[in-house]
Structure 1
Amino acid sequence: MIGILIVTHGALGESLIACANHVLGGAPAQTAALAVNSQDDPNIMLPKAQALVAQLNSGDGVLVLSDMYGATPCNIVTKLIQPGMVAGVAGISLPMLVRAMTYRQEPLAVVVEKAISGGREGVVQFTGQQCERYEPESSN
């Protein structure tokens, strides 16, 4: 199973994990968040992130999600990337996280693509019609 690490400003990552827990109906395994605050030194946060990646990797790889491309959390993630083993995607949203969690039995490259498509397809302009209940795609 692909591990998922979320590196974000403040408690956003932990909040997203809690929301995914609610949507999916259970606590997501092999998932962790690392909160980066304005006073945190990225050189001190990097070893913490590396330790979390090692902890979450069961041998299938880890997807590391960050909130905003170019910001400090993203810069930490860039130092974690290991082609084929640790991948990074910026712009995390709840649809992106739920999609990644739904497909985590697939290879890392597939989980990356599903996360990106979940984020992209999760951005929808309201038309005034009732929202449909979200049902995660089946990984089968």
Structure 2
Amino acid sequence: MIGIFLITHGTLGESLIQCACHVLNQRPPQIAQLGLSAQDDPLDILPAARTMLGWVNDGDGVLMLTDIYGATPCNVAAKLREPGRIELIAGVNLPMLLRALTYREHALPTLLARAITGGCDGVMQVRTN
């Protein structure tokens, strides 16, 4: 099973995981999150991030999810990326996380594509009559 590792600002990652637990009615296995604060030095965080990455990696690979491309959480995650084994998507939202959890038994390229479309398709204008 492909592991999922969220690296986000503050408590966003844990909040997304808690929402996914509510929807799925259980905490999914092989999922972890690391929340960064403004005071965190990316070089100091990297060893902890690498350790946590190992917690979710059973050898099938890991999908890392971050909130904002180019921000510190994404930059830390980018240092952990290993193409084809440990991949990274920025712009995480709850539909993306739920799609990733649903497709994590598939190959990593399929999981990447499904997670991205889930995140994009989950954003829509709601119109009421």
**TM-score by structure 1 length?**
0.90
> 1:54 — aligned with what?
54
> Aligned with 2:32: secondary structure?
strand
**Aligned counterparts, 1:87-102, within 5 A:** 87-102=87-102
- In 2, Cα distance between equivalents of 1:27 and 1:56: 13
Runs of 4 or more off by more than 2 Å in structure 1? none
> 2:114 — aligned with what?
114
- In 1, Cα distance between equivalents of 2:27 and 2:55: 17
Shift, 1:73, TM fit:
0.3
Shift, 1:127, TM fit:
1.1
Amino acid at match of 2:38: S
- In 1, Cα distance between equivalents of 2:61 and 2:54: 9
Gap runs ≥5 in structure 2: none
- In 1, Cα distance between equivalents of 2:49 and 2:113: 22
Aligned pair count reads 129
> 1:6 — aligned with what?
6
- Are 1:25 and 2:29 matched, yes or no? no
Gap runs ≥5 in structure 1: 130-140
**TM-score by structure 2 length?**
0.98
> 1:137 — aligned with what?
none
Amino acid at match of 1:103: Y
Aligned CA-pair RMSD: 0.8
If each structure's helix is expressed as a fraction of its own residues, which one has the higher value?
A: 2
- In 1, Cα distance between equivalents of 2:83 and 2:54: 15
Give the share of equivalent positions with the same residue, in percent: 52
